[in-house]
């Protein structure tokens, strides 16, 4: 699988935001998805609502999925990254409306403490979380997202180098 990189959101793909949340040691926040039996770890991500900017969506998703807004924006990706979902997941999640997702990635610096992270809120998607080194992140991600994560890690590498 590969991810397509473009300057605009790709038609036919669900527009969403991805979040690279870095702690003070430059480790990346990842959560383990609750909706699968497989060990599926990922960074926070979610759809962009109509009328919402990418940054507004990122802050909302951070609050919904991580349970905190204690972070400040470091940078926004230059590109949109698109990937296809496995067909069975796409059918289940969006009734076939989208082939996959097109994502704009944001990097935030976490300014709180670990006790500020509350993953069991109203929109809980994660049943566990941890901080990972950026290169370890790529090894733990589900295969159909791996190329996107490789691309994001390379673009944002200057933040932890």
Q: Are 32 and 129 in contact (CB under 8 A)?
A: yes
Query: Residue 50 belongs to a domain with what CATH number?
Result: 3.90.79.10
What CA–CA distance (Å, rounded) separates 42 from 60? 17
Provide the residue range defining the domain that includes 23: 4-159
Phi, psi dihedral angles at 66 (to 5 degrees): -105, -20
Number of domains in the chain: 1
With pLDDT > 90 as the criterion, what percentage of the chain qualifies? 63
Question: What would the pLDDT profile of 128-157 be if each residue is shown by its tens digit?
Answer: 999 999 888 888 888 888 899 999 999 999
Query: Residue 152, CB half-sphere, CA atoms under 13 Å: how many?
Result: 29
Compute the C-alpha angle 97/98/100, nearest 5°: 160
Q: Tell me the pTM.
A: 0.91
- Rounded CA separation 20/33 (Å): 16
């Amino acid at each position: 699988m590969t991810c397509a990189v473009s300057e605009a959101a790709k038609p036919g793909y669900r527009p969403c935001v991805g979040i690279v949340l870095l702690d003070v040691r430059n480790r990346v926040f990842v959560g383990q998805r609750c909706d699968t039996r497989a060990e599926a770890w990922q960074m926070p991500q979610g759809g962009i609502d109509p009328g919402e900017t990418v940054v507004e969506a990122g802050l909302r998703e951070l609050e919904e999925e991580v349970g905190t807004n204690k972070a400040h924006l470091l940078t926004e990706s230059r590109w949109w990254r698109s990937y296809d979902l496995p067909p069975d997941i796409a059918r289940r999640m969006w009734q076939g409306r989208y082939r996959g997702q097109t994502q704009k990635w944001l990097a935030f610096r976490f300014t709180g403490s670990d006790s500020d992270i509350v993953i069991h809120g109203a929109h809980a998607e994660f049943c566990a979380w941890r901080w990972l080194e950026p290169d370890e992140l790529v090894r733990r991600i589900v295969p159909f997202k791996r190329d996107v994560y490789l691309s994001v890690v390379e673009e944002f590498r200057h933040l932890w180098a």
